[in-house]
Structure 1
Amino acid sequence: MKLPIYQVDSFAHRVFSGNPAAVVISRDALSDSMCMQIAAENKVSETSFIWPAEDGYHLRWFTPTTEVDLCGHGTLAAAHVLFSENSIDADSVQFSTASGALTVQRIGNEYQMNFPTYQPQPTEIADNIRERLGFEPKDLLRSSDFIVVVTTEQNVREFSDSFYDISGDHGVILTAEATDTDGLDIISRYFGFKEIGIEEDPVTGSAHCAIVQYWCNKLDKEILDAFQASPRGGYLTCERVGDRVLLKGKAITYLKGECYLESEGDSGD
């Protein structure tokens, strides 16, 4: 079995920035085990799997160790491949996912994704997380991930620890108002726990689904220019629209090729 595969830098202004995602296209759904093996082989934070649906495409996302319910940069990468390879004629595409129907619209040289927002709630965090921060949080919230609101932008940029040895299938978002960088409203970083298989995610669309409500309320804005300050770095624009968020960014194809796989059910003998 031979399948097309692409690697795309999402939320990137140039190659080798943003968040790399692999995209695999098939005619039919692949088995969970096949998706997991391909994602583990790719060793990027997410591999997106797409195949035709009645009203667009099905889409699943896998880290090297697990399947996730929502992935912004993987969705952006999948849409970019479909548009750039002329697989669709319209200026929008709909994906059927574990998080419901997600629509991506092409706007000039950018892509705008219509995603759900999360409503984070105040929380406390365990001592083994708090002691690694090295500063006192301004606010502590929880959606699926822990959200640590930080007093200064530099605290986010200069954080040098990790939470990767902590057991769990989510992670920690560090975020602050961007007061030192012109043109930005907020800054963030995302650190995964052990089971998610990602120590630091370069740019995390789903994390912004969680922090956009907080920052729109705090800054009295409906549109936020955001930067995820990982070593690769990535930019996105977040617009709150009711209980949805529009995430907009660019994507660049880094490579494309073919996967050579045993057919499903082939023993390899």
Structure 2
Amino acid sequence: MRIRVVDAFADRPFTGNPAGVCVLDAGDWPDEAWMQSVAAELKHAETAFVRPSAGAQAEWDLRWFTPTKEVVLCGHATLATAHVLATDGKLSGKATFATLSGVLVADVADDGITLDFPLNLPSAVEAPEGLAAALAVEPVEVYATGALNDLLVVVRGEATVRAVVPDYDAIAAITRNGGLRGLIVTAPGEEYDFVSRFFAPASGIPEDPVTGSAHTSLAPYWAERLGRDELVGYQASARGGVVRVTPSGDRVYLKGQAITVLDGELYV
């Protein structure tokens, strides 16, 4: 079985967020334990499995697995999947994917791939106990992110985001106790409109390099705060990556580029 590793939200190799992509034949899904084992073997934040859809609502069925669990929404692995299908000549222009988050759309163009995702509007909440200590920075505001199931933590500035020294055990405890996926830390940017980092150790992702799904809440938050809709975010991980965002009603458009860095054979 052919497998690719794609750097998503990246304009050059070894930046952005790497994702595994397995393009399957039509028919039943492989055993879930096998898909989870493949994701654990690759050890990337997500591995995507895609197959031609037998249903009428979408052209493709798409699932995502971290090294430890299946997730309901993933931006960078969706972008990576669209890139692989386009590279293989299996799609041009728009493609639709049936997922656990409903039907998602990817629009492939020469200047990048635009994802049409559900918007997750933040709502203010109290900071959980131990949050400041877990991040080694003081939160200014804390928000729930609805179905995204993260905490959005706003801090004072870009330098503060970059200064976060995560206590992964403490973050894992906070997210597990709150039934959360992870923590988004964000602030106004200097070169970009906003910057962020993302931590989800309880999901097998200590720090995610670039988190497309997190931008479904970052986009409406910063659009309201900055007073405009077309924004550019930078995820300030060690690899780094740029995500262009445009909230529109209950949807948000995420745009980025992708590069295949590995193309190989998975022996099963």
Q: Same fold (TM over 0.5)?
A: yes
Cα distance in structure 1, aligned partners of 2:167 and 2:254: 27
Cα distance in structure 2, aligned partners of 1:101 and 1:164: 35
Tell me the alpha carbon deviations over residues 90-141 of structure 1, each in whole angstroms, 9 at most, x when there is no partner. Answer: 3111110000000100121300000001022111222222223333322110
Does 2:226 match 1:214? no
Alignment gaps of 5+ in structure 2: none
Of the two, which has the highest radius of gyration? 1
Query: Superposition RMSD on alpha carbons, in Å?
Result: 1.3
What residue in structure 2 maps to residue 6 of structure 1? 4
Structure 1, 131-140 or 117-126: larger mean CA deviation: 131-140
Q: CA deviation at 1:4?
A: 1.2
Alignment gaps of 5+ in structure 1: 262-269
Q: Which amino acid aligns with 2:22?
A: V
Does 2:67 match 1:56? no
Asked if the contact 1:69–1:98 (Cα under 8 Å) also holds between the matched residues in 2, the reply is yes
What residue in structure 1 maps to residue 150 of structure 2? 145
What residue in structure 1 maps to residue 162 of structure 2? 157
Structure 1, 149-158 or 15-24: larger mean CA deviation: 149-158
Structure 1, 10-19 or 131-140: larger mean CA deviation: 131-140
Cα distance in structure 2, aligned partners of 1:225 and 1:164: 31
Q: CA deviation at 1:161?
A: 2.1
Q: CA deviation at 1:257?
A: 1.1
Asked if the contact 1:164–1:192 (Cα under 8 Å) also holds between the matched residues in 2, the reply is no
Give the TM-score taking structure 2 as reference length: 0.91
Asked if the contact 1:120–1:142 (Cα under 8 Å) also holds between the matched residues in 2, the reply is yes
Does 2:41 match 1:31? no
What residue in structure 2 maps to residue 41 of structure 1? 41
What residue in structure 2 maps to residue 187 of structure 1? 195
Q: CA deviation at 1:157?
A: 1.3
What residue in structure 1 maps to residue 186 of structure 2? 175
Cα distance in structure 2, aligned partners of 1:164 and 1:32: 27
Structure 1, 132-141 or 24-33: larger mean CA deviation: 132-141
Give the TM-score taking structure 1 as reference length: 0.91
The equivalent position to 2:238 in structure 1, one of 225, 231, 234, is: 231
Structure 1, 132-141 or 19-28: larger mean CA deviation: 132-141
Number of paired residues? 254
Cα distance in structure 1, aligned partners of 2:137 and 2:46: 31
Q: Give secondary structure in 2 for the equivalent of 1:247.
A: strand
What residue in structure 2 maps to residue 116 of structure 1? 118
Q: Which amino acid aligns with 2:98?
A: S
After the TM superposition, which segments of 4 or more aligned residues of structure 1 sit over 4 Å from their partners? none
Tell me the alpha carbon deviations over residues 157-213 of structure 1, each in whole angstroms, 9 at most, x when there is no partner. Answer: 1212233452325111000111x22xx10100001132x000000000110001211
Cα distance in structure 1, aligned partners of 2:186 and 2:21: 29
